[in-house]
A = this chain, B = another copy of it.
Amino acid sequence: MTTAGRPPTLEDVARAAGVSRATASRVIAGTGYASPAARGRVSAAADRLGYLPNLAARALVRGTGVRLVIVVSGTAVSVLDDPYVDRVVGAAARVCAPYGLGVALHWLPAGEPAGLRRLAEDRGVGGLMLVNTTEALLDAVPRELRGRVASIGIGSALVPSFDVDNGGGTAAVVRHLYRTGRRRIAMVTGPRWLSCSGRSVRAYRRVVRDAGLPVRLVPGDFTASSGRTAAREVLARWPDTDAIVGISDATALGVIDRLRGDGVQVPGDVAVTGFDDIPLAAVTTPALTTATHPVAEIATAAATAVLAGRPVPPTTVYPSRLVPRASG
């Protein structure tokens, strides 16, 4: 039975419950003392009136901000086009909904951490999630942000990290190729300055060297088209290559596309693996052997940490799990 006109305010609830606004506030916000009796009357009144706290008002007085900003750093604004970013944003937006918060998406030009300052000073910013970050950027995180920032990727003393065990995943993929008989395994890498790429490359090097196999690295940038280019380069430089490890699923699909176009059988002549397990990796032909990462789970955990504001461990590592399919 809502009163027509304006939505009910805390004042209305307090009046209906026969208590002061302060008491109503304590009950609704769940902070501070209130007798069971008052508690019950206030809750009942709130329910009956269909009361919804005005979060702008709350944010104003508490200075807590009204949005969670996802900051993706990279050399070009096109880093935001990555479907991976959309998955993170989508997951965060789901977490935010019940808190009455929203998610905004910003690109931070690599090497220009000044933007972080601006965000830290913006009173509307309730928290920050860093995606694809670098050590330089982590060093530039203003101290005021402590407890309101998390990183999907590497972290720092100030910034808790929610990360995938890229090294372990890559190692599992390479070992799988070895186990299935591949002996000349090349890798298409990502930008060297990205730590996640670095860890994958190191893991590849380690496994390959331990097995006494040759190291064959070709640069890429996570895209399908870099995979296409890299595929030719690999076979031009080392024609006897029998497996190619892509740094991402898109890269791997690019590799496969070029290989088949050039008459090379996948996985017959060359096995190809990806990394990430994007939703469609399972339905491509051949289905992609890759490593799967709980992106939504990670983003959810990071967003929850930022919103809840409770202390979190400095590093939470999520497993990267091999998904053997047809391509390698």
Indicate how many identical chains form the complex: 2
- Quick check: is A97 within 8 A (CB to CB) of the other chain? yes
Instruction: Kindly specify which of A14-22, A58-66, A175-183, A196-204 makes contact with the partner chain.
Output: A58-66
Instruction: Given A56-B65, A284-B280, answer yes or no on A121-B86 (Cβ-Cβ < 8 Å).
Output: no
Q: Which of A107-123 contact B (CB under 8 A)?
A: 118, 121-123
What separation, in Å, do the CA atoms of A227 and B69 have in the docked complex?
37
Of listed A121, A260, A266, residue having the most chain B CB within 10 A? A121
What separation, in Å, do the CA atoms of A296 and B80 have in the docked complex?
11
Query: Is A257 a contact partner of B280 (Cβ separation < 8 A)?
Result: no
Query: What residues of chain B lie closer than 8 Å to A86, measured between beta carbons?
Result: 83, 86-87, 89-90
Contact sample, A vs B, 10 pairs, CB 8 Å cutoff: A56-B66, A60-B60, A67-B96, A67-B102, A85-B90, A96-B102, A100-B122, A101-B104, A103-B103, A257-B287
Residues of A within 8 A of B (CB): 2, 7, 50, 52, 54-57, 59-60, 65-70, 80-81, 83, 85-87, 89-90, 93-94, 96-97, 100-106, 118, 121-124, 224, 227, 249-250, 253-254, 256-257, 260, 266, 278-280, 282-287, 296
